[in-house]
Amino acid sequence: MYALYLASVVGFAVLAQWFAWRLRVPAILLLLITGLSLGAWPAAPSPDHLLGDLLFPIISLSVAVILFEGALTLKLQDLKGIGHVVRNLCSVGVLATFAVIALASHLIMDLDWRIASLLGAVLTVTGPTVIAPMLSIIRPKKEIDRILRWEGIVIDPIGALFAVLVFETVTLSQHSDVLSHSLLAMGKTLVIGCSIGLLMGWSTTQLIRRKWLPFELHKFGVLAIVLLTMTFSNHLSEESGLLAVTILGIWMANQDDLEIDAILEFKEDLSMILISALFILLAARLDLYALWKLGPMVLLLMIVVQFIARPACIFLSTIRSGLSFHEKLLLSWIAPRGIVAAAVSSVFALTLEQQQMPDADKLVPLVFSVIISTVVLQSLTSSWITKRLALRQPNPETILIIGANALARAIGRALNEHQIPVYLSDPAWENYKLARVAGLSCYYGSPHSEQAERYIPQHQIRYVLALSPSRQQNALGIQHFAHLYGEERVYSLPPGDMERKKNRDSATFRSRQVLFGKDVTYSRLRNIIENGGKVKATKLAEAFTWQDFMTTNTDAIPLFILGEKGLVSIMSADNPIQPIAGQIILSLSPAKETVRAENGHQQPTGDAA
């Protein structure tokens, strides 16, 4: 029975993620429904009975991995460029949210001040895994989108750390000298957590740099280090482990010459598994009667969270920011809570219930109430509110190019010169570096990864062009973005004539290998670029028609058709089009010397000249 239950949790987690993918809704909604349904099923064993004494360490270690994965994306150089608004949200805003929710919880719900304080601290953390898909649907203005995405990334470890410090204060409140004991415990937690995190971060960096840990063991080895860091730090000082793994992640993320892409990709996959299974288990632990017992006053608390705490956080954090009143209103509306709040509160509640602290049993139901209300309410209304406030972005115009090789860079530069925004993506560092040197926006990594959702402006993308020499990269990208945007907005190049005949990829990928024409392949275009070919612009007129262009440019490969307002069409095998006068043809033309050589003309030598 227990084995069946565990297998069912994994199966339901996959189904919930799949339905969320198909319906394009935050996965947390379906995971929550799944968990509550399992918890209400009389025949199902409760997670507490199923896991027993293992429940607390499993939740703790899972939270450690989730926070470590979030910290791996926190680069200090990025923090410098995100503006003072996000910095304020993660400092002044955290304190404002904490104060309002803690005070309201104490006054409205009559909670013990210690539980009220802990509730306020836990609810300072928004859910980046919930915000990303929500923003892709509502498509707010670029500045709003940027602020919300970065707030979710940065506040994840910072808010969790703040909650840990508040928890330390709460657990020590039974001492007669609360202040001195709290300060001593907080200092001990900070010193040990930071020291262990820095030590393990430095040690891990040396293991990877000096190749003492083989590449094949990077993922497994770093996972073991994270778990050991968590447990060892907690052994020295209770609850310092979360701080230690956060510091470990931040240290590794900010080592310029440290290759952690494979580690980060593995941790993203592992975090998805843990988030899915953990959220179902946590929701299954939730007693629906305990939610009902909270009474009608909980609705008033939800109103305070949505209409007082969040606006206070935003308006205090955006003083002298230059944001309009409407922009501040939209920021005040969007702040869904997610898995970190649920998991951290569950860890704290287990400890406090063992200590028989008053109202400790209300902490998790209240956190889940806020998660449910914020995710459901904001998912259903944010798009409409964005439109009403006139803050929705216009139709997307950005072209995402999978690959940043010489061909992709040449096409990207040509489009940029005609004010067509492009965004490149490549997991090869050299290609990424050359793209940035060329002034092109580029993401270092795979565009279909979970981390890419935080950096690539996916709601601004109109078309996706797969121009990577890697068939696997192209196929994964096409499959991913065809679901997001529809097959008619994604294109790919076949790698070459011989490879095309042997192609056994999916039907979706094969059907989109029509970019730039029926007989155009990646290898053919790459050879033109390598031999000095250029992407050129030719404007059509009444005296120089499309037929004239084709007659005089027999070796050119038409790529795009541009008009006065931007991109008109992409040339492809399934979209034959006749450009008209006034439009511009972007085409890839071979170098003249190459054309003559292919036609059998003998080039003059330097001596003959």
pLDDT tens sequence across 543-600: 888 888 888 888 888 888 888 778 888 888 767 777 888 888 888 888 765 555 555 5
Same structural domain, 328 and 431:
no
Q: Which residue has the higher pLDDT, 436 or 495?
A: 436
User: Does 167 fall in a domain?
Assistant: yes
Same structural domain, 257 and 146:
yes
Distance CA 241, CA 353 (A): 20
Same structural domain, 379 and 417:
no
Same structural domain, 288 and 406:
no
Same structural domain, 369 and 413:
no
Quote the distance between the C-alpha of residue 191 and its chain's center.
Answer: 31
* Domain tally, the chain: 2
Average pLDDT over residues 267-277: 75
Q: Give the pLDDT of residue 500.
A: 47
Q: Which residue has the higher pLDDT, 601 or 465?
A: 465
Residue 205 to residues 64, 69, 73, 264: CA-CA distances in angstroms?
19, 16, 16, 14
Q: How confident is the model at residue 120 (pLDDT cuts 50, 70, 90)?
A: very high
For residue 453, the enclosing domain spans 398-598
User: Does 96 fall in a domain?
Assistant: yes
Which ranges of 456-504 does DSSP label H, i.e. alpha helix?
471-485, 497-501
User: Does 59 fall in a domain?
Assistant: yes
Q: Give the pLDDT of residue 1.
A: 60
Same structural domain, 79 and 144:
yes
CB-neighbour burial class of residue 229 (10 A; exposed 0-12, middle 13-18, buried 19+) = buried
Query: Which residues lie closer than 8 Å to 34 by C-beta, 6 or more apart?
Result: 12, 13, 15, 16, 280, 283
Helical (H) or strand (E) element with 279:
helix 261-285
Same structural domain, 288 and 419:
no
State the CB neighbour count (10 A cutoff) for residue 111.
23
Q: Give the pLDDT of residue 606.
A: 37
User: Does 495 fall in a domain?
Assistant: yes
Q: Which residue has the higher pLDDT, 78 or 257?
A: 257
pLDDT over threshold 70, residue 124? yes
Q: Among 388, 422, 456, identify where a domain stops.
A: 388
CA torsion angle 393 395 397 400 (round to 10): 80
Task: Fill in the DSSP letter of residue 422.
Answer: E
Average pLDDT over residues 424-434: 88
Identify any residues that bridge with 538 across adjacent strands, giving them in sequence order. Answer: 585
User: Does 609 fall in a domain?
Assistant: no
Same structural domain, 228 and 350:
yes
Average pLDDT, the chain: 80
Distance CA 298, CA 365 (A): 10
Q: How confident is the model at residue 102 (pLDDT cuts 50, 70, 90)?
A: very high
Closest CA to 51 of 14, 6, 10, 118: 6
Q: Give the pLDDT of residue 496.
A: 67
Query: Number of helices (H) and strands (E), helices first, in the chain?
Result: 29, 9
Same structural domain, 14 and 125:
yes
pLDDT tens sequence across 532-548: 888 888 888 888 888 88
- Looking up residue 59, the CATH number of its domain turns out to be 1.20.1530.20
Q: Give the pLDDT of residue 208.
A: 86
User: Does 590 fall in a domain?
Assistant: yes
Q: Which residue has the higher pLDDT, 285 or 309?
A: 309
Q: Among 388, 406, 421, identify where a domain stops.
A: 388
Residue 312 to residues 271, 305, 317, 333: CA-CA distances in angstroms?
32, 10, 8, 11
% of the chain exceeding 70 in pLDDT: 87
User: Does 413 fall in a domain?
Assistant: yes
State the CB neighbour count (10 A cutoff) for residue 311.
18
Phi, psi of 215 (to 5 degrees): -55, -35
Same structural domain, 365 and 449:
no
240 contacts 196 by C-beta, under 8 angstroms: yes
pLDDT tens sequence across 240-252: 787 888 888 888 8
Token pair for 4: 């069946």
Q: Among 342, 358, 388, identify where a domain stops.
A: 388
Same structural domain, 373 and 472:
no
Same structural domain, 97 and 170:
yes
pLDDT over threshold 50, residue 605? no
pLDDT tens sequence across 131-175: 777 777 788 887 888 788 778 777 876 787 788 778 877 776 655
Token pair for 8: 């069912």
User: Does 556 fall in a domain?
Assistant: yes
- Looking up residue 429, the CATH number of its domain turns out to be 3.40.50.720
